[in-house]
Chain A
Amino acid sequence: MTVGMPGPLLPQAGDGMPQAGMRLVRGVVTFLRFLRTHGLPVGPDRCVLALRALGQVGVGSREEVRTALRLVCAVDPKQRERFDRLFDLFWDGGGAAAAEPACRLEAQAGPWSGGTLPAAPEAGSDAPAELPQTGALYSPHGVVRAPPQPAGEPDADRLLREAAARLARRLTYRPSRRARAGRRGERPDPRRTLRVAASRGGDAPRIVYRKRRIRRTRLVMLCDVSGSMQPHACLLLRFAQALTRTAGTLVETFIFSTRLERITAQLRRTTSRLPARPAEGPVRPGGSPSGDGVERLIASVPLWGAGTRIGQSLASFLRDFGHLLVPGESVVVVMSDGLDTGEVELMARSMARLRRNARRLLWINPLAADPRYEPLARGMRAALPYVDRLMAADDPASLAALERYL
Chain B
Amino acid sequence: MAAFKSVDELLRQLEAHRYVADREVATALYLAIRLERPLLVEGPAGVGKTEIARVLAEALGTRLIRLQCYEGLDASTALYEWNFPKQLLRVRLEESGQRAIEDRERTIFSEEFLLERPLLSALRAKERSPVLLIDEVDRADPEFEAYLMEVLADFQVTIPELGTIVARHRPHVIITSNRSRDLSDALRRRCLYLWVGYPSYEKELAIVQARIPDIAREMAEAVCRFMQKVRALDLEKPPGAAETVDWARALLALQDEARDHDPAGSTLGVIAKTASDLEQLRDLVARGELTLPSVSAPPAQNPAGAP
Which chain A residue has the least Cβ–Cβ distance from B40?
Answer: A75
Most buried by B among A71, A72, A202: A71
Q: Which of B85-93, B119-127, B149-157, B287-295 contacts A (4 or more CB under 8 A)?
A: B85-93
Q: Are A326 and B178 in contact (CB under 8 A)?
A: yes
Binds B, one of A50-58, A229-237, A383-391: A50-58
Size bracket of the B interface: 35 or more
Check: B24 CB closer than 8 A to any chain A CB. Answer: yes
User: Chain B contacts of A327 at CB under 8 A?
Assistant: 71, 139, 180-181
B27 touches A57 (CB 8 A): yes
Instruction: Give A179-216 interface residues, CB cut-off 8 Å to B.
Output: 194-195, 197-198, 201-202, 213
Main secondary structure of the interface of A (DSSP, over half): helix
A56 touches B88 (CB 8 A): no
Nearest-Cβ distance from residue A175 to partner chain B, whole angstroms: 14
Q: Could you tell me if A63 and B35 are in contact, using CB atoms closer than 8 angstroms?
A: no
Bound state CA distance, A71 and B194, in angstroms? 6
A202–B92 CB distance below 8 A = yes
B37 at the interface (CB under 8 A from A): yes
- A327: nearest residue on chain B (CB-CB)? B180
- Whether B236 lies near A323 (C-beta < 8 A) is no
Q: How far is the CA of A315 from the CA of B180 in the complex (A)?
A: 18
Contacting pair B30 A57 (CB below 8 A): yes
Q: Is the CB of B88 within 8 A of A197?
A: yes
Residue B222 CB within 8 A of the other chain: no
Taking a contact as CB atoms under 8 Å apart, the answer to whether A77 and B197 are in contact is yes
A-B contact number at CB 8 A: 87
A43 CA / B31 CA spacing, docked (Å) = 19
Contacting pair B180 A43 (CB below 8 A): no
- Contact partner, A198, options B35, B37, B84, B142, Cβ 8 Å: B84
Q: Of the candidates A57, A197, A315, which one forms a contact with B7 in the assembled complex, judged by CB atoms under 8 Å apart?
A: A57
Distance in angstroms from B206 CB to nearest chain A CB is 19
Size range of the chain A interface in the assembly: 35 or more
Distance in angstroms between the alpha carbons of A198 and B113 in the assembled complex: 13
Residues 1-56 (chain A) with a chain B CB within 8 angstroms: 43, 45-46, 49, 52-53, 56
Please measure, in the bound complex, the distance between the C-alpha atom of A64 and the C-alpha atom of B236, giving whole angstroms: 35
Query: Using a CB-CB cutoff of 8 Å, which residues 1-20 of chain B contact chain A?
Result: 7
Say yes or no for B99: interface residue by CB 8 A criterion: no
Interface contacts beyond A52-B35, A75-B193, A201-B91: sample of 6 additional A-B pairs, CB < 8 Å, sorted by A: A43-B189, A53-B192, A64-B27, A195-B82, A197-B88, A326-B180
Across chains A and B, which 6 residue pairs bring their CB atoms closest together, nearest first? A198-B84, A326-B180, A198-B88, A71-B192, A323-B179, A67-B27
A-B contact pairs, 20 of them (CB 8 A): A49-B35, A49-B192, A53-B35, A67-B24, A71-B24, A71-B27, A71-B193, A72-B192, A76-B195, A194-B84, A194-B85, A198-B91, A201-B91, A202-B92, A323-B178, A323-B180, A324-B181, A327-B181, A353-B236, A356-B236
Interfacial residues, chain B to chain A (CB-CB below 8 A)? 7, 23-24, 27-28, 30-31, 34-35, 37, 42, 71-72, 82, 84-85, 87-88, 91-92, 95, 139, 142, 178-182, 188-189, 192-195, 197, 234, 236, 276
Report A's interface with B, CB cutoff 8 A: 43, 45-46, 49, 52-53, 56-57, 63-64, 67-68, 71-72, 74-77, 80, 178, 194-195, 197-198, 201-202, 213, 249, 315, 319, 323-324, 326-327, 353, 356
